[in-house]
Amino acid sequence: MKKAFITGGTGFIGSHLVKRLSDEGYSIKLLVRASNRAKIEEITNKGIELVQGDIRDCTTLKNAMNDVDVVFHLAGLVSDWGDPELFNDVNINGTKNVCQAALESHIKLLIYISTNDVFGYGEDKIFTENDPYCCWNEPYPDSKIKATRIVKDYEKKGLPVSIIYPCWVYGPGDTTFITPMAEALKSKIFMFWRKNALVWPLYIDNLIDLLMAMATNPNAIGKGFIAHDGISVTFEEFTAKLSHYLGLKFSRKYIPYKLAYAFGFSMEVLWKLLHIKSRPLLTTYSVKNLGSKWRFSIKNAQDTLNWNPTYTYEKGIENTMKWFNDHT
């Protein structure tokens, strides 16, 4: 029986991965923070070994990995707003700790979840895994770039690694993307700032399928894989689909991109001056992210691992919004 160690296993992606690994007969060891008592109580009854700790604590990680075959490093700070120091501490230093512990424990494979953001937001090409990383001057994507480079550095030291670059992950249980979008649409003040910007959706089950392929196919070692549902949709189309399932009238209201960016920048400055902890109404990262026409190829995952999205975008959204409407 293979044994998997997971960081970030109590999150949206992690909870789906834990279920699949359990269904596939894996023995699972899960890193959980002591403060996450609700999740600890929920998981305790599922026969999963819990390790209380934090990816910023290298000693705990080393002790936890002493009898593990594969490590899934999912933990990280994912947000368009926050303290840059915290992004660095969690995403960069935390990843370095995971890699060091995995190397010293002679782990057979470390699978790291990066992001398609690391390639920047250029529009003059179709991005592949071979493209260089490009900074955004934003805390989240730039910290992920540094973290991904750390993983690659440890590969050179002898750690077997495989990296996935997921696009916009959505599905039942998603409160990071779908929930804020739904709340924004319900507020009736939602606006676009660029016509036909592109969204590359990735349904959670399609992502988990690829993670399992990476864990079981030796061809994944030393390689990276961009992942999405095989299609892009315009941000307007995506928003119209959500509006339909929410029973809302879809409305196209546009403001100039530069105005949206200036508003996001001003909001961030104000929030910092006033030391407001909550997320601003708009951020420069979200303006860039939701105002791009970038393109991505999944050919490498298809050719190397024989992976193809099982769920279509239409079915994925249907399942996601059924869950959302049942839980709100």
- Locate 315 and state its tokens: 């079915």
| C-alpha to C-alpha distance for 104 and 94, rounded to whole angstroms | 16
CA–CA distance from 91 to each of 74, 143, 217 (Å)?
10, 6, 27
Q: What is the pLDDT of residue 41?
A: 59
User: In terms of residue numbers, what domain contains 35?
Assistant: 3-171+200-229+294-310
Does residue 300 lie within any of the structural domains? yes
Tens of pLDDT along 88-139?
999 999 999 999 999 999 999 999 999 999 999 889 999 999 999 999 999 9
Tens of pLDDT along 202-261?
999 999 999 999 999 999 999 999 999 999 999 999 999 999 999 999 989 999 999 999
Q: What is the CATH number of the domain that holds 9?
A: 3.40.50.720
Tens of pLDDT along 39-75?
665 665 567 899 989 999 888 899 899 899 999 999 9
pLDDT reading at 301 higher than 70: yes
Q: pLDDT confidence of 328, banded at 50, 70, 90?
A: confident
Does residue 246 lie within any of the structural domains? no
Return the SS3 of 138. Answer: coil
Number of domains in the chain: 1
Q: What is the pLDDT of residue 94?
A: 97
Q: What is the pLDDT of residue 285?
A: 96
Overall pTM surpassing 0.85 (yes/no): yes
Q: 287, 193 in Cβ contact below 8 A?
A: yes
Does residue 210 lie within any of the structural domains? yes
Does residue 109 lie within any of the structural domains? yes
Does residue 263 lie within any of the structural domains? no
